[in-house]
Structure 1
Amino acid sequence: MNPHHNPSRRQLLARCLAVAVALPAFSLQARAQGRPVLKAGDQKGGLRALLEAAGGLEGLGYDIQWSEFPAAAPLAEALNAAAVDSGPIGDAPLIFALAAGTRVKAIGANRSDSYGTAVLVRPDSPLKTAADLKGKSIATNRGSIGHYVTLKAITAAGLKPEEVNIRFLAPADAKLALTQGSVDAWATWEPYTALAEVSRHARVLVSGRGLLPGLSYLAATDAAIAAKRPVLQDFLQRVVKAQLWSYRNVDAYSAALARIIGIPPEAAKLQFERRQQRWVSIDAQVIADQQGTADFYRQVGLIKQPLDVKGTFDTGFGVAG
């Protein structure tokens, strides 16, 4: 487990394009016409679904080339390889990206209820508490918020990281491993948690509520910030406005989200309503909470050097609704 391992740019680009579902059909024409192009990375149920549902993509002065990733780690690799300019990323995956030398900054921050970032077990599992995970196998993505909540949960229960067996699997593979019984638990995030609950494939053993600060970010590469700052500012502002719209139109947004990402409406509404996501200013508390995450990862040995997070934020982007 070495977050400092930094594959070549060519390897990273190949890997991220292998997992991304890119929609670049109009990008060459757009460049020919001189319109800026924002290469926007996304995760399932993320910014594209929100913007489309809210009508937030109307009247753009630039074109968007979307690439969807199954988790934050491959999105971070795409940022590192300059395959995307920007994308949504949780606090813990951002720490890994920065520790690996990715030239990226957080330009917008949001807070949400962390309940849906959770360790799940099968409905019939005998496990009742985080302490019961001793000696058990837990599937999650390396460096993800699922990885983070796993370590937070077990250390809070008095266990050491080496007392559990963490298996690094992508969400689809982790879900299958749990349902088939080849792992004891699956640490994941929304909308996967809500989907597992609604389908009764799993129950929450430990939630992130009270364990995690509930932070995630819109990150952008240093190169994109330098070359496309007005585009990034406009994009962030559209996301903030779309988020405000979504909470005024819960039923409409939940139905649109379910349709766009292909999950049952009740799962879409469950994860949306309990997250209560709000975009916030990058203030001293945000930076302090992010420093706490970096310090925790250093404490448990997942990053090898202390990381001062202050320089990893660009506070010049507004999030006024």
Structure 2
Amino acid sequence: MHLKRRDVLFGLLGFSLPVISSSCANRSEAPNLSSTTSPTPQPGLSAVRIGYQRFSELDLIRTRGELDRQLQQQGVKVEWSFFQSGPPMLEAMNTGSLDIAGVGEAPPIFAQAAGTQFFYIASTPRGLKTQDIVVPKTSSIQSPEDLRGKKVALQRGSSAHYLFVQVLRDRNIPIEEVEIVPLSPADARAAFEQGTVDAWSIWDPFLGVIEATGNVRNLNLGRDRRAFFLASQNFVNTYPDRVKAFLLEAKLTEEWGQQNARAIAQQFSEELKIDVAILEKANQRRGWGLLPITPEAIAAQQRVADTFYELAIIPKSIQVAEVTVPEQIYAQLYPST
């Protein structure tokens, strides 16, 4: 499925659908921050608005409640908003409805191309088995080459989208020879189970759920990747102390989560109506730990951006370094070890 850049631009406008090197910092415009941050509440902030996906780090922060309790003591509440995937979450940030978000590697690329004003503020690792392309167990599709002429469901602008285009590029399969069916995870599962699509590119916990049915076969195409915490540029500029408080709680939550995979699975099982064993497996195959935004992370994101541009999936070339917090300011925000 080949998209013209003009058509992609219209789609991006509506989506629908975490130390920085000096050279990178020089390509970012420094936010208007003072050299120190204040521990007292800043005027005008009554709430921190955070978007989360189910069974994500942000969902764990939400359910633990420590961030809410800390900010409530300072007269600030946390407003949590659920999103099924990253692209609509960043659409909400683009319209000024969110301050902080957590997404995979692809949504920030689409958001930056659409003009969303955000900063990368931290990252977390993802294991290679946390996403894959799956087919029905009885499908004749055995390898990526067999996807030619087939329909593949995925969330446009998601990490699953990037996995799919990486697989095609690595095997010199023109993207026009495979039909992308852009669907949300819930709609994609329905289409997949009904047989109206031939394959599904998807991530955990949706991947774990469909694997547990016993009716699918993995093509085993997943890759190590990163997920990112983002904050709107206005929020970083105006409320750096809140960003710092958020990152500290994220760091503590990641450390706790690494030691409590089963407890987390048990916690979310009832809420999500997903078996504990599925969620525990998803926890065990993902990575844990809050990581800073490093030159290596920026370079990896730039490769994502370049890939989408070269395939005319985003309408313009972007520089990821332009949405990174300058080094001297980032050092104040990121938790010390």
TM > 0.5 fold call: yes
Rate the CA distance shift 1:260–1:232 in 2: closer, same or farther, 3 A.
Answer: farther
What 5-or-longer segments of structure 2 have no aligned partner?
Answer: 18-40
For 1:143 and 1:311, the matched residues in 2 are separated by: 20
Give yes or no for contact 1:131–1:158 (8 Å, CA) kept in 2: no
Deviations 1:33-77 (A, max 9, x none): 976310101112123431255453463223110110111111011
Query: What corresponds to 2:24 in structure 1?
Result: none
What 5-or-longer segments of structure 1 have no aligned partner?
Answer: 17-30
Shift in Å, 1:143: 0.9
Give yes or no for contact 1:196–1:203 (8 Å, CA) kept in 2: no
For 2:79 and 2:64, the matched residues in 1 are separated by: 19
Q: Which deviates more, 249-258 or 237-246?
A: 249-258
Q: Determine which of 280, 295, 298 is the counterpart of 1:287.
A: 298
Q: Does residue 246 in structure 1 map to residue 246 in structure 2?
A: no
For 1:182 and 1:227, the matched residues in 2 are separated by: 48
Deviations 1:150-182 (A, max 9, x none): 111122122011010001111111001111100
Residues 259-274 of structure 1: pairs in structure 2 closer than 5 A: 259-274=270-285
Q: Does residue 318 in structure 1 map to residue 334 in structure 2?
A: yes
Shift in Å, 1:248: 1.2
- State the SS of the aligned residue for 1:246: helix
Q: Determine which of 30, 37, 40 is the counterpart of 2:50.
A: 40
Q: Which deviates more, 221-230 or 139-148?
A: 221-230
Give yes or no for contact 2:258–2:289 (8 Å, CA) kept in 1: no
Give yes or no for contact 2:209–2:278 (8 Å, CA) kept in 1: yes
Give 1:275's aligned amino acid: R
Give yes or no for contact 1:113–1:277 (8 Å, CA) kept in 2: no
Q: Does residue 214 in structure 1 map to residue 225 in structure 2?
A: yes
For 1:151 and 1:319, the matched residues in 2 are separated by: 35
Rate the CA distance shift 1:135–1:50 in 2: closer, same or farther, 3 A.
Answer: same
Q: Which has the larger radius of gyration?
A: 2
Query: What corresponds to 2:10 in structure 1?
Result: 5
Q: Does residue 257 in structure 1 map to residue 268 in structure 2?
A: yes
Shift in Å, 1:188: 1.0
Give 1:244's aligned amino acid: E
Shift in Å, 1:201: 4.0
Query: What corresponds to 1:102 in structure 2?
Result: 116
Q: Which deviates more, 72-81 or 119-128?
A: 119-128
Q: Determine which of 144, 154, 164 is the counterpart of 2:178.
A: 164
TM-score (norm 2): 0.82
- State the SS of the aligned residue for 1:59: helix
Give 2:139's aligned amino acid: S
Rate the CA distance shift 1:92–1:160 in 2: closer, same or farther, 3 A.
Answer: same
User: How high is the sequence identity, in percent, across the aligned residues?
Assistant: 26
Query: What corresponds to 1:180 in structure 2?
Result: 194
Give 1:287's aligned amino acid: I
Q: Determine which of 211, 214, 219 is the counterpart of 1:205.
A: 219
Give yes or no for contact 1:3–1:96 (8 Å, CA) kept in 2: no
Shift in Å, 1:306: 1.8
For 1:308 and 1:5, the matched residues in 2 are separated by: 21
